[in-house]
Chain A
Amino acid sequence: MIEIVGLRKRFGAVTVLDGIDHQQAAGEVVALIGPSGCGKSTLLRCLNWLETPDSGSLRLGDVRIEAGTPEAADRRRRQQLRRRTGMIFQQFHLFPHRTALENVMEAPVHVDRLPHPEAHALAMGLLSKVGLADRAHHLPSQLSGGQQQRVAIARALAMKPQVLLCDEPTSALDPELRGEVLTVLKTLAAEGMTLLLVTHELAFARDIAHRVVFLEGGRVVESGPTRAVLDQPQHPRLQEFLGKHRARPL
């Protein structure tokens, strides 16, 4: 489903991604972990071209883009990538001037040109799925953080993505609100959704991810099955990282 080969990205003089390789099968759940600034968010944002990689290639299902080529500059190619991915942001980024329902309906109506009644039914179904059918007509400002993130998930799912990219989906939430978001994500994983998620919550990664990838300095330092990586870390940098995390009370 996902195939990344030799992906590089620099911000000025700083190399953020230094030749990333990554494969992921359909239905697989992969957690990206690593210290701040290791490039894990940038990697995620390269997958839907919110950041433009400098070189390397990217395949998502049937769409393949070679960075730095003329076709990579083509807006339609970018669009194809975005149609196959959904993205969940740390800060939700719901559209504040639209209700929960309108947020979910926005893309089906204005990108897919879905007739209004169908989009409405689709959106209501998704809001029910995340347990917020009764909040359909609320504005984001009238919802709690956890509810907002669940609407954001419904909004992303409305475009029927093949891959869901989650950029620290619970970091902005109080601990008591994290559970409701994690539950939704776990359900999706159980249903076979391909998930690539950046997270600091190792307990959650352990719970949901089939594999864990540890990034540092823009490189994949270690990757493997979740338990193996988290319980028997090989690389000293990973051992140090995990040690710090254990010391930090969650």
Chain B
Amino acid sequence: MAWTTGVRSTSGAVQTPEPAIPQVLRWANDAEGGAPYIYHTPDNPDQLVGFEVELAQALCDRLGCTSQFVQYNWANLIPGLRQGGNYDIVIAALERTPENLAQVAMSRPYFAFGQQLVARTGDTNIQSLSDLAGRRIGVLASTLSHRLVTQQGGLEVRVYDENVNYFRDLELGRLDAVLTDSPIATVQLRTRPNLRAAGPPFAPAHYAIAAPIGSSGLLTRINEALGSLIQDGTLERIYRRYELWGPQQAALATWTAEVVPTTTSGAVTAATKSKPVPTLRYLTILIEAAVTTVWVSLASMALAMTWGLGLALARRYGSRPVRWMAMSYIEVFRGTPLLLQLYFIYFGLAQQWGWKLSAGAAAVLTLGLNYAANEAENLRAGLEAIPRGQTEAALALGLSPVMTLRRILLPQALRISLPGITNDLIALFKDSSIVSVIGLVELTKEFLIRSLDAGDYIGLGILTAAIYLAMGHAASRGARALERRLRT
């Protein structure tokens, strides 16, 4: 069936207003989505632009309602829509795929695109996914691209939360390729001469507007309005402004629905609700992700303890300028957000000085440098708690100051500081989830991805929490064993 609609009316002339259209239509998107979808221009940082912003405006004009933009985290747009309350529809490059159709109702498509593989200009032997066996590829979390590279297998997949940083990492050599929606690639390739489109777009798909399941009245009106925007050339005018118009988009006018039922809610609900979550399968996946959490945390803690010890000694025994420097370091690293430090180290150093740290190295370095400030204070408190007589007794026996510190003071200080250090290690297990912003999939990120796939927050949430608890428990057990060894 063809979606040709005869409606040519303008906003004022729409027939009797139906209750399906609210006075104010709240549409959600994530402004982090970037060009050409939704972004701020550097010239006017207060104003949102992008083809989806203009489409939303044109749509609301046609529907005779007021458009209201709602900012929402992209990965959570579908769960947010299902839960209801925050916004009525989603116009945010959601793919019209069976996976999405199982969760929400979707309109006729408003944009046609393909998957574009992007590689560095010099890397000429990359033309398709099959050329990438064993190499590193970046994708946006929970997208069609993400599913495609996962199905492909044999790739080292790095998952990102937004659309810009994987291009940066590709330029820096941290990735070998990026798989993304063609419009993103088109826009990014304009300003990145050292990147190229590797092969033609493939896996054609469509973006469509999402509405809650069961809102067929609203969706019918949206489909009519979209159809009229396509027919009267409004859509073309918008897309041309962003250099996105092409034969693919022209074909939207004669788009026919797949056989998949879009809004027959009964079948859809059955598909989403009764799908049992294969717990064991997910447990394995989550435990694999937990391995990343554990090594990142332990390596960071090792760095934090070493560097923190240096800082603690500098603060306690250093000359005045040394003490001052150690104190400033501690203040700076304790007093600024971890996320900021991570971006500074991962992107800032590469941009400014060309120090291209791998995501793992940047994560460990950032967490290590940050926690070193805490451990320095923990150890200093421990050192200060030891009676002065211990030092005197050791010196009187002829031990050198270094020996006194190593054999007499530090073991006692460590014993005193251990509860605080253990606390920090457990906090680190949890804080390390922050490294997902630079593409490392650790436990929390894996949970977020899988819970979106499975539509199950409770079951997977409990599994994930159990793994975190197990790690924390192991840390406390280890600390108690160490405490016994250090005695007192």
Q: Which residue of chain A has its CB nearest to the CB of B388?
A: A93
Q: Which stretch, B167-175, B406-414, B428-436, touches the partner chain A?
A: B406-414
Is the CB of B427 closer than 8 A to any CB of chain A?
A: no
Which A residues, 222 to 243, have Cβ-Cβ distances below 8 Å to chain B?
A: none
A95 close to B398 (CB less than 8 A): no
Please report the C-alpha to C-alpha distance between residue A83 and residue B397 in the assembled complex, in whole angstroms. 7
Is the CB of B21 closer than 8 A to any CB of chain A?
A: no
Please report the C-alpha to C-alpha distance between residue A155 and residue B398 in the assembled complex, in whole angstroms. 12
A141 close to B397 (CB less than 8 A): no
A93 close to B398 (CB less than 8 A): no
Q: Write out the residue numbers on chain B whose beta carbons fall within 8 Å of the beta carbon of A79.
A: 398, 400
Please report the C-alpha to C-alpha distance between residue A144 and residue B210 in the assembled complex, in whole angstroms. 78
Q: Which of B389, B408, B411 contacts A91 (CB 8 A)?
A: B389
Is the CB of A82 closer than 8 A to any CB of chain B?
A: yes
Binary contact readout B354-393 vs A (1 if CB under 8 angstroms, 0 otherwise): 0000000000000000000000000000000001011011
Contacts A97-B415, A106-B407, A110-B407 given: A141-B488 contact, CB under 8 Å?
yes
Most buried by B among A91, A93, A94, A156: A93
Please report the C-alpha to C-alpha distance between residue A94 and residue B389 in the assembled complex, in whole angstroms. 9
Q: Which residue of chain B has its CB nearest to the CB of A107?
A: B397
Give min CB distance, A74 to chain B, whole Å: 13
Q: Write out the residue numbers on chain B whose beta carbons fall within 8 Å of the beta carbon of A96.
A: 412, 487-488
Give min CB distance, A158 to chain B, whole Å: 8
Binary contact readout A103-119 vs B (1 if CB under 8 angstroms, 0 otherwise): 00011001100000000
B395 close to A89 (CB less than 8 A): no
Please report the C-alpha to C-alpha distance between residue A50 and residue B390 in the assembled complex, in whole angstroms. 12
Q: Which of A95, A107, A159 contacts B390 (CB 8 A)?
A: A95
Q: Write out the residue numbers on chain A whose beta carbons fall within 8 Å of the beta carbon of B397.
A: 82, 86, 106-107, 111, 155-156, 159
Give min CB distance, B406 to chain A, whole Å: 9
A89 close to B389 (CB less than 8 A): yes
Which B residues, 461 to 488, have Cβ-Cβ distances below 8 Å to chain A?
A: 486-488
Q: Which residue of chain A has its CB nearest to the CB of B386?
A: A96
Please report the C-alpha to C-alpha distance between residue A48 and residue B392 in the assembled complex, in whole angstroms. 10
Q: Write out the residue numbers on chain B whose beta carbons fall within 8 Å of the beta carbon of A82.
A: 395-398
Q: Which of B399, B412, B488 contacts A111 (CB 8 A)?
A: B399
Q: Write out the residue numbers on chain A whose beta carbons fall within 8 Å of the beta carbon of B390.
A: 93, 95
Is the CB of A43 closer than 8 A to any CB of chain B?
A: no
Q: Write out the residue numbers on chain B whose beta carbons fall within 8 Å of the beta carbon of A139.
A: 487-488
A87 close to B399 (CB less than 8 A): no
Is the CB of A85 closer than 8 A to any CB of chain B?
A: yes
Please report the C-alpha to C-alpha distance between residue A141 and residue B487 in the assembled complex, in whole angstroms. 10
Is the CB of B332 closer than 8 A to any CB of chain A?
A: no
Q: Which residue of chain B has its CB nearest to the CB of A141?
A: B488
B393 close to A89 (CB less than 8 A): yes
Is the CB of B403 closer than 8 A to any CB of chain A?
A: yes
Q: Which of B387, B389, B395, B411 contacts A97 (CB 8 A)?
A: B411
Give min CB distance, A124 to chain B, whole Å: 18
Known contacts A95-B408, A159-B397; 9 further A-B pairs (Cβ under 8 A): A48-B396, A93-B389, A94-B393, A95-B394, A97-B412, A97-B486, A110-B407, A141-B488, A155-B397
Closest 10 CB pairs of A and B: A93-B393, A93-B389, A107-B397, A87-B396, A111-B398, A82-B398, A97-B487, A96-B488, A97-B411, A83-B398
A-B contacts, 5 listed (Cβ < 8 Å): A83-B398, A86-B397, A89-B389, A111-B398, A111-B403
